[in-house]
Every structure is written in C-alpha cells, then in structure tokens.
Amino acid sequence: MILTTIVLIVLTLATLAVGCARPAPSPTPAPTVTATVTATVTATPAPKPQTLTVYSGRAEGLVKPIIDQFIKSTGINVQVRYAGTSELAATILEEGKNSPADVFFAQDPGGIGAVEALLARLPDSILSQVEPGFRPDNGKWVGISGRARVLAYNTQKLKEADLPDDIFGLTDVKWKGRLGWAPTNASFQAMVTAMRKLWGQDKTRQWLAGIKANNPKDYANNTAQVNAAGAGEIDVAMPNHYYLYGIMQEKGESFPVRNYHPRAGGPGAVILVAGAGILDTAKNKEAAQKFLEFMLSPVAQQYFAGQTFEYPVIKGIKTHRLLTPLADIKSPGISMTDMADLKGTLNLLRETGIVP
C-alpha cells in the first residue's frame, strides 16, 4: 500500500509536469527537471547565450575530436545534436524560423541542399577558401571534406584490370550475380544525380535497368556492402571510398578489398562533399562563421584527411598514404548546384523499381 502511494505521488507529479508544460508551459517543474539532467550528462554548465548549437549528421566518433579542438582554441562553447542527416534536415524544416540550430553539418550534399532555403549566404572570406567544385554557386554552404565514389572489388577474385573503364561497363551480363549496391544510400543517389547530369535521363535509366538485370544484392548501407565484398559474397561493391579504410583499421590491411576509381572517369568517379552551412535564423552568426573557418583551416583539414580518410577541400593538405591522390582521379567536373535535384533522382529510382 505504501508502495502504491509512492508510485501514485510520483505519477501525479510527473503528469503535472508533462500536462502543464504543453499548452501553457509552467516554469516551475520544467527547468528543475532539465537542470538535474544537464548536470548529470555533461560537464559543461547550463547553456549560455554564447553557446553555438550544431546539428551534426556526421557521426560523433568522426567529428567530436575536431569540435573539441575548436572549443579549446576559440573558447566558444559548442553543443551538438547528433542524428541522421536526413532526420536533422527534416527537423530543421519543421522547426522553421524557430530552429535552435546555428550550424548544420551534413553528411551528404542532398541533406544540406534540402534546407538551402533556410540557410544564410556565407561571406566570401569563407567561400573563397574552398575550391569551386566543392561548393554550390549560391554560396549557401561549403564542402568541408570530399569523398570519392568508387568500385570496391574483392582482390582474391578480381584484378583492377578486370574492372570496366567506366561504371556503365557493369551493365555487361558477365557481372550477373557479382554486384552489390546500397540504393537507399544518399551517396549512391547523389551518384545517380551525377549520372543524370552527365549521361542524361535515358542512359541513366539504361544503366539502372542494366544493373538491375544483373541481380545485384541490395545492402542497407556502405559498410555492409564493403564487408560483403571482403567476405566474397559479392565481387564488386559501389560505396564511397573511405568505408574500406575504416574496415582495414579494424581488420588489418590484409582485408581483401581495394578501391578502384573508374579510369575513364564519368559519374562512377565523382567526388561528393560533406558540407556545412549557417542558418539564416542563427543566433550566434559570428561564432558560426568562426566554426566554419576552423573546419576549413589546415588543422581541421589535416584531421579529416588523416583520421577519417577523406579528401581535403583546400589546397596544400596531404591525403592519407592509402588514398589515391585527388589529382589522379578523373573526377567529372560537376557543380554542386547540379547535384541538388534529388527529387528527379528519386522518381527515376522509383520508376525503375529500385527503391519502393
């Protein structure tokens, strides 16, 4: 009975807190609860107005170290919400002008492109640091790091010479049952967008139909694809370049998969970017600009090149020794603005029955 009473008291208090707070937020219960939790969660004190708020679609393990360095070197406090890029993009769209975010750090160009209307144009001082291919013409965001589309092949079954000059060659019937892809992955779809720009709609449809006829194995993500290539489940995967190096770090360099950048270039060799932008409604614009400047500084660019195996977007940074130098990849020059038409790509993928 005592137990029930206690339970009931707790229950009542909790409902009061929840109930009152929604339509007409009662100041008393809410802040108490929040304060307790902030104290248990983070060592940082309760958020001050100076705190920069970042929505990051990039994984915490990859970007937290460099954000920590930013905090250390500038003294600006940063709080980060980590979630999937598309979920965060949808969140920013729903929040509209009330978004608490200052900076959106996205994993792929599609994600940040989706919220372009809510972003502020970046100052030229930031834009000019980045090579033109790595930012959209409207100056709403900049690429922070680059990633190459590759064919990842099993080295026990294939030699690099066996692979076609151009990704279109994979539609040949000899690849039947040997391919894997991740058609719901954002980078894959960005590559299809590049195909539509470079090849046109018809040839892209032909490619999709040709690959589909070769019975590729669908994977939920790139890590799964590359692992499957390593296990010999498939001979060739179509991921971004850096997944391989992440796996090699865990399993060693004997992992029997290598990357191939199609030697004739084309959409199969396209370079994509992970970009960041500042929201038009940001309350800390100045700190947000400092944040982007820092991410484009040699320190941060070297970090991305060395730790996450990505390509730097500014000049004068060395890429990782395992990576094919950017200059050796015949990447098609395609503007980030052209990469924005996700809808057309999704429609094509639906039409061909590749995504539901």
Nearer to another protein, 189 or 259 (CB): 189
Based on the shown chain and the rule CB under 8 A, indicate whether residue 71 belongs to the binding site for another protein. no
Kind plus residue range of the DSSP H or E element containing 54:
strand 52-56
| 79 touches another protein by CB under 8 A | yes
Closer residue to another protein in complex, CB, 47/332: 47
Q: Which parts of 39-68 interact with another protein (CB under 8 A)?
A: 40-42, 44, 47, 53, 59-62
Report d(CA 29, CA 174) in Å as an integer.
Answer: 67
Binding mask 19-38 for another protein (x = CB under 8 A): x-xxx-x-x-xx--xx--xx
Q: Which residue lies nearer to another protein by CB, 30 or 314?
A: 30
Q: What character string, x for contact with another protein (CB under 8 A) and - otherwise, covers 174-193?
A: ----------x-x--x----
Tokens of 145: 């790091």
Per-residue exposure over 190-206, b if at least 16 CB sit within 10 Å of its own CB, e if not: bbbbbbbbbbeeeebbe
Taking the C-alpha atoms of residue 290 and residue 114, their distance in angstroms, rounded to an integer, is 24
Whichever of 257 and 349 has its CB closer to another protein, that residue is 349
What is the contact mask toward another protein in residues 111 to 140, using x (rule: CB under 8 A)?
A: x--x--------------------------
Cα separation, 230 vs 215, whole angstroms: 19
- Measured from the CB of residue 330, what is the shortest distance to another protein in angstroms? 28
Does residue 256 interact with another protein by CB under 8 A? Answer: no
Binding status of residue 6 toward another protein by CB under 8 A: no
Residue 264 binding another protein, by CB under 8 A = no
Return the number of the residue (130 or 248) whose C-beta is nearest another protein.
248
At its nearest, how many Å lie between another protein and the CB of residue 51? Answer: 9
Task: Give ∠ CA 141-243-277 in degrees, rounded to 5.
Answer: 10
Query: Residue 75 corresponds to which amino acid?
Result: G
293 to 352, contacts with another protein by CB under 8 A? 342-343, 346, 349-350
For residue 66, which of 272, 271, 292 has the smallest C-alpha distance?
Answer: 292
Residue 98 binds to another protein (criterion: CB under 8 A): yes
Asked if residue 253 lies in contact with residue 158, where contact means CB atoms within 8 angstroms, the answer is no
Alpha carbons 179 and 98: distance in angstroms, whole number: 45
CB of 254 vs another protein, minimal distance in Å: 14
Give the burial class of 260: count Cβ atoms within 10 A of its Cβ; 0-12 exposed, 13-18 middle, 19 or more buried: buried
